[in-house]
């Protein structure tokens, strides 16, 4: 689709100005040494959660040994990453010992255990924004430094009830609303493939600890790409479920207005085969709505591809290596399955950020507007004045990060024009996908950026955020590594309630492109 002359000029100006400031920032920033985590040497760390659960049930390995292996790995990599911000290792080992005892005492056999406790004895990491009993839940707010959860979020409770053993909680961006996991309470989290690069946000600590093989499965939340971007940057699988399937309760910040329609809680993991079982557990009674047990014949699906957002002036061009990776996916699909992947374009995608911003500002059904970001920063305490916080930040005195202050300064209101664009895009996308269509779309226009560089490309999350506004299930899938040794990936989008289709494609792509790669072995 072509841009108007005005849009081309605006695009050039925006990229020139952001490029100038980005270059200036690089010049004045202290040089960081690029490091990556050590290679994995413990074979227990290279087994999927479902296979681990099976081995534990069959007494081929004890849960205590598995949990200890992951504790050892976390202790090895976390000093480099700052991904896990609070552990519960002693409690986890005690729970692992109890899981082994349950297996010893079970008289009904392995099938009974698999049905009652499908994740019995398997380690789990949890995004710090979720309530996990006995663990902090601050989302990086200094004012919440002393808060300890006395209950579990529903999705966390379901995973624990299935036998999963939480190892600890992982870092987020401040109040979960930025592309990089950094805050003044816990500090900044690094990418395991290159510590000078971001791990993503807001589920970035999860992405980092999983990508480094410090965890096998994790739980994240996604209102604008907060599962998919960290999974992309850290070479993982992650699923943004159809909204309303997995409970969003028990996390901070709570959604308000119509934001719950955009927010999805979902699984993050290194192995594609763990996605569907985790989603089934986390969905609870709602799992039946997704028909997850129904077999998917990939040869009978209709495949589509969109190469970019149509040239929005606000977003970066898609990296050539990501374009090439998506082409390779198309070639493999057509060669292996005998399908034809149709290239599509949707004109409304160039308004992705504005559509997302408008939807985030919509009032609830009673007309009550969502909480402002400044109110969320205050967390029920003294009023936060964004301009004053900006002045304090300049002198290094603010408790808040620059991205959070910037968000608090914004006062978005719903735009009728962009609501019309959203409705048009929704209609076209739903019509194209139906109940048997799958769409390939870039996870992000860039490979994992250097630390703080998203400050100059703030709209690039639009590639994930737009899909939240449409309420579609999306699975982020890794596609190997770039020339720089950074993860490549693609989003696989399905129609509403068609989560099983994107999860089936994820299994195929893992087999075709190798899935997660050990960052220490590259």
DSSP letter, residue 450: B
Give the C-alpha separation, 370 to 363, whole Å.
6
Retrieve residue 351's tokens: 């308004």
CB atoms within 10 A of CB 150: 8
What's the farthest any 2 CA atoms get from each other in the chain?
A: 74
Retrieve residue 432's tokens: 């194209």
Residue 84 near residue 74, CB atoms below 8 Å:
yes
Helix ranges (H only) for 106-194 are: 110-116, 154-161
Tell me the three-class secondary structure of 35-103, residue by residue: CCCCCCCCHHHHCCHHHHHHHHHCCCCCHHHHHHHHHHHHHHHHHHHCCEEEECHHHHHHHHHHHHHHH
Q: Classify each residue of 223-243 as buried b or exposed e, where b means 16 or more C-beta atoms within 10 Å of its C-beta.
A: bbbbbbbbbbbbbbbbbbbbb
Give the C-alpha separation, 497 to 313, whole Å.
33
Give the C-alpha separation, 62 to 145, whole Å.
35
Residue 190: beta bridge partners?
198
Closest CA to 432 of 319, 341, 317, 296: 341
Backbone angles phi, psi at 243, to 5 degrees: -55, 145
Give the C-alpha separation, 324 to 330, whole Å.
10
Could you please report the per-residue DSSP string of 144-169?
Answer: GTT-B-SS--HHHHHHHHTT-EEEEE
Q: CA-CA distances (angstroms) from residue 102 to 57, 91, 124, 260?
A: 10, 16, 19, 38
Contacts (Cβ under 8 Å, ≥6 apart) of 311: 1, 3, 7, 11, 350
Give the C-alpha separation, 378 to 471, whole Å.
30
Q: How far apart are the first and last CA of the chain?
A: 38
Residue 122 near residue 164, CB atoms below 8 Å:
yes
- What three-state secondary structure class fits 19? helix
Retrieve residue 221's tokens: 């939340």
* Residues with a known catalytic role: 127, 202, 226
Residue 270 near residue 216, CB atoms below 8 Å:
yes
């Amino acid at each position: 689709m072509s841009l108007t002359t005005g849009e081309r000029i605006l695009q050039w100006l925006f990229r020139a100005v952001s490029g100038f400031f980005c270059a200036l920032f690089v010049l004045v920033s202290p040089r960081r040494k690029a490091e990556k985590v050590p290679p994995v040497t413990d074979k227990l760390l290279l087994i999927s959660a479902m296979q681990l659960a099976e081995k534990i049930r069959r007494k081929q390995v004890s849960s205590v040994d598995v949990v200890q292996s992951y504790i050892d790995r976390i202790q090895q990599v976390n000093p480099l990453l700052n991904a896990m911000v609070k552990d519960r290792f002693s409690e986890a080992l005690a729970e692992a010992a109890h899981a082994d005892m349950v297996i010893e005492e079970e008289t009904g056999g392995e099938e009974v255990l698999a049905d009652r406790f499908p994740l019995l004895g398997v380690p789990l990491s949890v995004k710090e924004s979720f309530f996990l009993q006995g663990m902090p839940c601050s989302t990086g707010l200094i004012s919440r430094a002393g808060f300890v959860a006395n209950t579990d979020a529903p999705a966390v409770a379901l995973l624990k009830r299935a036998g999963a053993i939480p190892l600890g909680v992982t870092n987020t961006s401040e109040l979960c609303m930025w592309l990089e996991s950094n805050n003044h309470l816990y500090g900044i989290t690094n990418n395991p493939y290159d510590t000078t690069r971001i791990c993503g946000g807001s589920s970035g600590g999860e992405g980092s600890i999983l990508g480094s093989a410090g965890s096998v499965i994790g739980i994240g939340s996604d209102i604008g790409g907060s599962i998919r971007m960290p999974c992309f940057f850290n070479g993982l699988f992650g699923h943004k479920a159809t909204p309303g399937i997995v409970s969003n309760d028990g996390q901070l910040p709570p959604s308000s207005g119509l934001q719950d329609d955009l927010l999805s809680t979902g699984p993050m993991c290194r192995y594609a085969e763990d996605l569907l079982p985790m989603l089934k557990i986390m969905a609870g009674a709602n799992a039946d709505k997704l028909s997850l047990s129904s077999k998917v014949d990939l040869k009978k699906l209709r495949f589509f591809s969109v190469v970019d957002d149509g040239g929005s002036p606000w977003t970066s061009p898609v990296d050539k290596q990501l374009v090439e990776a998506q082409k390779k996916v198309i070639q493999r699909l057509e060669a292996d399955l005998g399908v034809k992947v149709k290239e599509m374009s949707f004109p409304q995608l160039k308004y992705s950020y504005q559509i997302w911003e408008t939807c985030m500002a919509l009032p609830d059904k009673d007309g009550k507007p969502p909480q402002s970001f400044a109110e969320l920063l205050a967390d029920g305490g003294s009023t936060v004045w964004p301009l004053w916080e900006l002045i304090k930040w300049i002198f290094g005195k603010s408790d808040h990060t620059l991205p959070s202050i910037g968000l608090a300064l914004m006062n978005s209101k719903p735009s009728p024009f962009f609501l019309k664009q959203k409705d048009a895009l929704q209609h076209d996308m739903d019509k194209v996908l139906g109940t048997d269509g799958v769409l390939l779309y870039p996870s992000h226009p860039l490979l994992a950026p250097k630390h703080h560089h998203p400050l100059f490309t703030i709209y690039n999350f639009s590639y994930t955020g737009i899909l939240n506004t449409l309420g579609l299930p999306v699975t982020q899938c890794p596609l190997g590594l770039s020339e720089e040794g950074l993860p490549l990936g693609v989003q696989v989008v399905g129609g509403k309630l068609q989560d099983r289709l994107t999860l089936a494609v994820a299994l195929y792509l893992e087999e075709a492109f190798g899935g997660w790669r050990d960052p220490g072995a590259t």
